[in-house]
Amino acid sequence: MMVMLVVIFSDPLPVLEHAQQLQRKAQRAQDLDVENQQLRGRLDEYNNEFAEVKNQGRPRLISQAEQ
């Protein structure tokens, strides 16, 4: 008695396309994360610079020891 096994594979194209879309989304998320980190760093620099400029316009308080 001979048993024949027939395996039918479905078309892998939809799964591969979905995997490719997920890969693109993951890459985009990673790119946005890097850009977000860069923008946060730039914002910190601007805030520090603004604080320095703001402090330059204020008269410095002189302590009694300096008088």
In this prediction, residue 56 carries a pLDDT of 85
pLDDT at residue 36 greater than cutoff 70: yes
Give Rg (Cα) of the chain.
31
Q: What is the pTM of this model?
A: 0.59
Dihedral class, residue 10 (left if φ above 0, else alpha if ψ from -120 to 50, else beta): beta
Helix or strand (DSSP H, E) at 38: helix 13-56
- CA distance to 2, 5, 11, 46, per residue, from 8 (Å): 19, 10, 10, 62
Among 1-5, 47-51, 58-62, name the most confident range.
Answer: 47-51
In angstroms, the CA 27 to CA 38 distance is 17
